[in-house]
């Protein structure tokens, strides 16, 4: 939208954002969600001159984001609304993109529900909405927090470079000498950051990592701002310095990273390499988790790898995992 130079600076901005580095090291869904929103944003921009390609990319990005994380995919429609207003998209093109995107999502959900029905499983969507979505929005599921400052600490920890770029970006955006395309890129960055941060404040349930899709906006803000600098031979040195700073940040300047916790990482590696427990018929498929990594990680990893349930270390379970080995509970008790 603003040229190759702005795009290059935007890509270079990503490793400056420790949230991007952090998300690239863990198996959570915020980065795939961000990828889907990025594809939807690309499709939105292409709607100006290539409506067919733009519609396909917008639909693909929205569906990918929706199937990845659910309601946060609605941010794609906020980007589309901004583009409709600022890029003066034709109403017919916008309505077609919305219709195709919603139809593709409905088709994907219907195919999934049909596959579940063929397996004799209960419908997924009603359960997902009633058990996951609505309680998270209304009740918070034990994590209710309406504070407007909830995401302040995560933003400072993970997106300090982006926050520092807000003021210079606003100045560049306000200058009449700045090209219209660059101003639009910076403006889109502001829109994405605002939609993600303020949108995630609405549900009662909040978590620090919910702000990660804002990395798109911060990257475009930094990229658009940097692109107005006069080209010089120093750019290659600046690029090297940026990557070097990102590497230092990754090594521990930001939040506590998995690479800074070798013991916890080793326990997860052991868990993945161990053969699963052999549960006798009629015995509960429970594994007492006596390792150091968190209950959430244990619950989901044990369920995924062993089709079992992780219970607290003090619970009576047929097997015990201590972070190094998996042993029957009786053998563990005899060893003690």
- Report whether pLDDT(331) > 60: no
Lowest mean pLDDT among 57-66, 69-78, 171-180, 260-269: 260-269
Position 272 scores a pLDDT of: 87
Between 128 and 293, residue with greater pLDDT? 128
Lowest mean pLDDT among 218-227, 277-286, 296-305: 296-305
> Average pLDDT, stretch 252-279?
69
Share of the chain above pLDDT 90, in %: 53
Lowest mean pLDDT among 76-90, 113-127, 289-303: 289-303
Cα gap 163→60, rounded to integer Å: 30
Structure-derived torsion over alpha carbons of residues 161, 31, 33, 136, reported in degrees to the nearest 10:
-90
Cα gap 75→203, rounded to integer Å: 14
Q: What is the pTM of this model?
A: 0.77
Burial pattern 57-74, b for ≥16 Cβ within 10 A else e, equals bbbbbbbbbbbbbbbbbe
Q: What is the mean pLDDT of the chain?
A: 87
> Average pLDDT, stretch 60-75?
96
- Report whether pLDDT(136) > 90: no
Position 334 scores a pLDDT of: 44
- Report whether pLDDT(199) > 70: yes
> Average pLDDT, stretch 71-79?
96
> For 298-313, what is each residue's pLDDT tens digit?
888 899 899 999 999 8
- Report whether pLDDT(144) > 70: no
Position 93 scores a pLDDT of: 96
Cα gap 84→205, rounded to integer Å: 31
- State both tokens at 11: 């890509």
Q: Where are the alpha helices (H) located in the chain, listed in sequence order?
A: 4-13, 18-23, 30-46, 51-69, 75-86, 91-118, 124-127, 134-138, 152-158, 160-174, 180-201, 215-226, 235-248, 262-273, 295-306, 329-335
- pLDDT tier at 258, thresholds 50, 70, 90: very low
- Sheet (strand 326-328) strand order: 309-312, 286-289, 319-321, 326-328
Between 184 and 297, residue with greater pLDDT? 184
Domain range annotation of the chain: 4-253, 262-335
Position 251 scores a pLDDT of: 64
- pLDDT tier at 255, thresholds 50, 70, 90: very low
- pLDDT tier at 216, thresholds 50, 70, 90: very high
């Amino acid at each position: 939208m603003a040229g190759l130079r702005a795009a290059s600076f935007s890509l270079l901005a990503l490793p400056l954002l420790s949230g991007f580095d952090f998300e690239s090291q863990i198996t959570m869904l915020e980065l795939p969600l961000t990828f889907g929103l990025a594809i939807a944003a690309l499709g939105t921009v292409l709607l100006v001159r290539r409506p067919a390609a733009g519609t396909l990319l917008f639909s693909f990005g929205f569906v990918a984001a929706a199937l990845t994380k659910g309601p946060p995919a609605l941010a794609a429609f906020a980007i589309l609304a901004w583009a409709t207003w600022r890029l003066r998209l034709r109403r017919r093109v916008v309505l077609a993109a919305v219709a195709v995107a919603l139809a593709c999502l409905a088709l994907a959900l219907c195919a999934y529900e049909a596959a579940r029905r063929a397996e004799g499983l209960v419908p997924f969507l009603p359960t997902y909405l009633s058990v996951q979505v609505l309680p998270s929005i209304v009740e918070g599921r034990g994590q209710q927090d309406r504070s407007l400052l909830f995401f302040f600490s995560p933003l400072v920890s993970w997106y300090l470079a982006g926050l520092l770029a807000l003021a210079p970006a606003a100045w560049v955006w306000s200058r009449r000498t700045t090209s219209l395309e660059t101003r639009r890129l910076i403006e889109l960055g502001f829109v994405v950051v605002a939609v993600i941060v303020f949108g995630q404040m609405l549900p009662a349930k909040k978590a620090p990592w919910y702000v990660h899709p804002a990395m798109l906006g911060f990257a475009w803000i930094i990229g658009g701002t940097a692109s107005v600098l006069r080209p010089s031979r120093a750019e290659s040195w600046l690029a090297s310095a940026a990557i070097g700073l990102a590497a230092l940040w990754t090594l521990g300047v930001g939040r506590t990273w998995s690479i800074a916790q070798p013991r916890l990482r080793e326990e997860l590696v052991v868990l993945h390499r161990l053969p699963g427990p052999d549960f006798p018929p009629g015995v509960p498929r429970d594994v007492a988790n006596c390792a150091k990594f968190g209950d959430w990680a244990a619950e989901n990893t044990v369920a995924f790898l062993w089709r079992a349930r992780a219970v607290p270390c003090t619970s009576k379970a047929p097997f015990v995992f201590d972070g190094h080995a998996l042993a029957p509970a009786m053998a563990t008790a005899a060893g003690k």
